[in-house]
Amino acid sequence: MNSLPDSSSIAPLSGNTASDTARVVRLAPESELRIEVEFGYSLTLKLIEGVAEVFGCEIIVGREYRFSGQKLGVFTWQAAGGADYVADDTPMPIFLNIHTALEQRRATAETMKTSGPRVVVVGAHDSGKTSLVKLLLNYAVRQGRQPMFVNLDISEGGVTMPGTVSAVMVDQPIYPEEEFGSLGLDLTAAGGSGAPIVYHYGFDTPNENTKLLQRLVGHLADTVTARLVEDDDARQSGLIIDTHGCADHNEFELLMHIIKSFSADVVLVLGHERLHSDLLRAFQQQPQSNISILKLTKLGGVARRDKSFRRQSQVRKIREYFYGHPGNCELSPFSLVVGFGDVNIFRVGEEHLVPSSALPLGADRKAGGTRLVAIEAGDILLHSILAIVDAAPRSASTAGAGDSTNESQTQDEEDFLVLANVLGFVYVSDVNSAKRKMTVLAPSATRLPSNRLVMGVFKWAETV
């Protein structure tokens, strides 16, 4: 195995909490130091000597890593000495075996000029799915591969914001502090397989609008497949797909849609025996399918995250999009004043926003739950996160047409925009309805790359 850890490791730990303390922890062979840092506290980790890793990413001797509001494990394959507050029931040897099997498939794909493994990681909520995804991606990168990471866990945000589905080629380590954030910094990168693919969903749970999410997943799968056709290295490296926790029938149906849309051939099930059985039963009824479904135990040390922790994680993700990671990759966003007449703002159609029981008797919906409808700019936008999406191209056959074609053209545009790639995000910090202007926070001082903005449910009261 090229560049995988095989030498001794001693991992020291220093904490900066309400009262600064520091201690040194010596890791035994194949043991793991598990760390939980609450929001409002910070911890500094430094490796003094040896070899250790976090989520499959090697940490550098002497470098300080700072964490806040995160849960992680520091693992070493080989070391000497005693241990203090260290777990020895780590599943890392199992994960290394999985990586080895995936690497064998990649080597075969490279020889045969075919596609590499398409892996979907599924399981219960808070079972360690994202941690396993990061580990497998980092191990693949350390082997010189360029796997495609697909994030379908809409509550997490993946490479950009919560409420999106996305995909990006990974050709560099995912560093423990930054997580996936550094992969999606340049959403407007022109062309190439390295540019992130991002679609806006706008909600933080699949059940808010399952029909729309399924449509976005299918479109993302088609786009990723087309992207891989153009890049042999990425195609042979394969896909690793992170998913939302599966807890009910609707989420199971969505999971089946994901597996089929991406033509997955490996499904890793974490901490969910019933889900494993249901998947086996579902694919046994499809004898033509060639898919491996593996059951894994829930990662040790994974703690259940309550609503408050999840919300704080989302707020941190939003803030890091504009300001970067403190002390590591800091950014300087800009405030722009935008006139109401200079942009067109949309949100998901009324099918989602108004339940059927609330409609007047005999009333029909004017917009479907998988389309966008235009809304008037105003106070409703205050503190909202707006996605900037590609503008729909205007058909030459309808350009300059009369009023009879305007409604149809608008409907076509709204339908197009729901599947349009996201170019970036802005935060609405102030709204002046009297002057018909709003102030937005944007990653750069240049004009917005598109005048089509899409509103979701996410709000953020900025505190710097």
Binding-site positions? 32, 71, 126-131
Structure tokens at 73: 């494990």
Q: From CA 406, how far away is CA 113, in angstroms rounded?
A: 48
Q: From CA 399, how far away is CA 302, in angstroms rounded?
A: 56
Structure tokens at 128: 């360690």
- Binding site for ATP, by residue number, is 32, 71, 126-131
CB atoms within 10 A of CB 162: 26
Q: From CA 63, how far away is CA 72, in angstroms rounded?
A: 17
Helix or strand or coil: residue 318?
helix
Helix or strand or coil: residue 200?
strand
Per DSSP, which regions of 278-367 are E strands?
292-296, 324-325, 329-330, 334-339, 344-348
Helix or strand or coil: residue 46?
strand
Q: From CA 264, how far away is CA 241, in angstroms rounded?
A: 9
In 143-209, which residue ranges form alpha helices assigned H by DSSP? none
Q: Which residues does 328 contact at the CB level (< 8 Å), separation at least 6?
A: 66, 177, 178
Helix or strand or coil: residue 9?
strand
Q: Which residues does 128 contact at the CB level (< 8 Å), separation at least 6?
A: 270, 271, 298, 299, 302
